């Protein structure tokens, strides 16, 4: 029984790395309220966050401008990371991600439709816009999987190709609708399309938080079953998993959180590719560890990426999507070439 000690070491809950990720998120949050045109010392920042103060300009900057932005970035990052993780688990492939699959473009299409109908903007209801984005994301995801399926299987080549095609199609639809919009609305659309983490008000944050909780809950409930899907659908069935039902619920949940993230902050690419990959390197592929890890790491990653986007060209701001794509595209190429841990279907 000397080997008996190896089992718990290999498989099981690992609190330490998860706590480290939570600490990273807190550090990211603190840094992001400290840095800006008015620098704030760490102690000042903590004080402003915890106690506040009526007429203090530092408190106003930290609590009313920087903190909402960091919270938005964190939730969007967590949502996109969880969406990527979900799509990867059900397609059994580490390359699946809302951007690569064209699901983000579908969600953008939903948002510009809402804009065209005058439902978006400062007087619109963020829940309605999120619903449009969700519908667009779901439409794109269903199309991609329907096109990519060959004899009930999802070969990686057809999955990526159909993702590209569906993504291009919905991007064209977005451009078409942008052309129909009035000139005064245009600037807002373009700004949003590039990926924009400027605070958009408490209601947007509330809707995003609610959707994120629902999506994370669905994924967490299915975590063990998602692990078994890695054996293939037939073996998952033979082990007692209702594979089709699991895939469908995760599919909808991933589309839902993608829609919420895109409608709140526009198109921010590759977060769903980068974060699950990094989390897998840290904690292995067990989804019961991976889901909380990806949510924490996704939040920390986008907060830090936004921080970089704000300071590299200060006082001008870079769209945060530029940072994430610059990280994500090379990683995608690396994963595609090495096929480590994924393999083809």
Footprint on residues 285-344 left by another protein (CB under 8 A)? 285-286, 288, 340-343
Footprint on residues 209-228 left by another protein (CB under 8 A)? 220-225, 227-228
CA distance 335 to 94: 8
Does 153 participate in binding another protein (rule CB under 8 A)? no
Least spacing, CB of residue 10 vs another protein, in Å? 4
Does 244 participate in binding another protein (rule CB under 8 A)? no
Closest CA to 85 of 289, 287, 327, 334: 287
CA distance 17 to 13: 10
Footprint on residues 89-128 left by another protein (CB under 8 A)? 92-94
Name which of 2 and 43 has its Cβ closer to another protein: 2
Q: How far is CA 22 from CA 18, 229, 295, in A?
A: 6, 28, 10
Does 284 participate in binding another protein (rule CB under 8 A)? yes
Q: H or E element: which one contains 226?
A: helix 223-229
The three-class DSSP label of residue 153 is strand
Burial (0-12, 13-18, 19+ Cβ within 10 Å), 293: buried
Does 16 participate in binding another protein (rule CB under 8 A)? no
Does 57 participate in binding another protein (rule CB under 8 A)? no
Given 231, 252, 282, 322, the residue binding another protein (CB under 8 A):
231
Instruction: Write out the E strands in 191-237.
Output: none
Closest CA to 99 of 25, 201, 171: 171
Name which of 11 and 117 has its Cβ closer to another protein: 11
Least spacing, CB of residue 144 vs another protein, in Å? 18
Residues that bind another protein (CB under 8 A): 1, 3-4, 6-13, 92-94, 220-225, 227-228, 230-232, 234-235, 237-242, 280, 284-286, 288, 340-343, 345
């Amino acid at each position: 029984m000397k080997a008996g000690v190896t089992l718990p070491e290999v498989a099981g809950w690992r609190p330490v790395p998860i706590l480290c990720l939570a600490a990273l998120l807190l550090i990211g949050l603190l840094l992001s309220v400290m840095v800006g045109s008015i620098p704030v010392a760490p102690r000042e920042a903590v004080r402003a966050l915890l106690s506040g103060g009526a007429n203090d300009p530092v408190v106003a900057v930290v609590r009313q401008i920087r903190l909402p932005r960091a919270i938005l970035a964190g939730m969007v990052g967590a949502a996109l990371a969880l969406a990527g993780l979900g799509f990867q688990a059900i397609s059994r492939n580490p390359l699946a991600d809302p951007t690569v699959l064209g699901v983000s473009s579908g969600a953008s299409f939903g948002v510009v439709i809402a804009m065209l109908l005058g439902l978006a903007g400062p007087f619109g209801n963020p829940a309605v816009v999120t619903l449009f984005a969700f519908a667009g994301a779901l439409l794109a995801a269903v199309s991609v999987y329907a096109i990519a399926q060959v004899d009930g299987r999802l070969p990686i080549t057809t999955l990526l190709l159909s993702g590209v095609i569906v993504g291009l199609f919905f991007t064209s639809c977005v451009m078409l609708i942008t052309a129909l919009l009035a000139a005064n609305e245009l600037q807002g659309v373009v700004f949003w399309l590039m990926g924009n983490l400027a605070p958009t008000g408490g209601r947007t944050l509330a809707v995003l938080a609610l959707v994120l909780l629902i999506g994370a809950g669905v994924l967490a409930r299915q975590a063990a079953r998602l692990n078994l899907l890695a054996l293939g659908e037939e073996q998952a069935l033979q082990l007692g998993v209702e594979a089709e039902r699991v895939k469908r619920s995760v599919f909808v949940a991933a589309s839902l959180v993608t829609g919420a993230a895109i409608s709140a902050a526009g198109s921010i690419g590759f977060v769903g590719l980068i974060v699950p990959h990094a989390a897998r390197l840290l904690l292995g592929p067990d989804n019961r560890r991976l889901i909380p890890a990806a949510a924490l790491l996704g939040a920390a990653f986008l907060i830090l990426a936004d921080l970089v986007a704000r300071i590299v060209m200060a006082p001008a701001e870079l769209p945060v999507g530029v940072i994430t794509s610059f990280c994500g595209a090379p990683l995608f190429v690396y994963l595609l070439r090495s096929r480590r841990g994924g393999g083809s279907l």
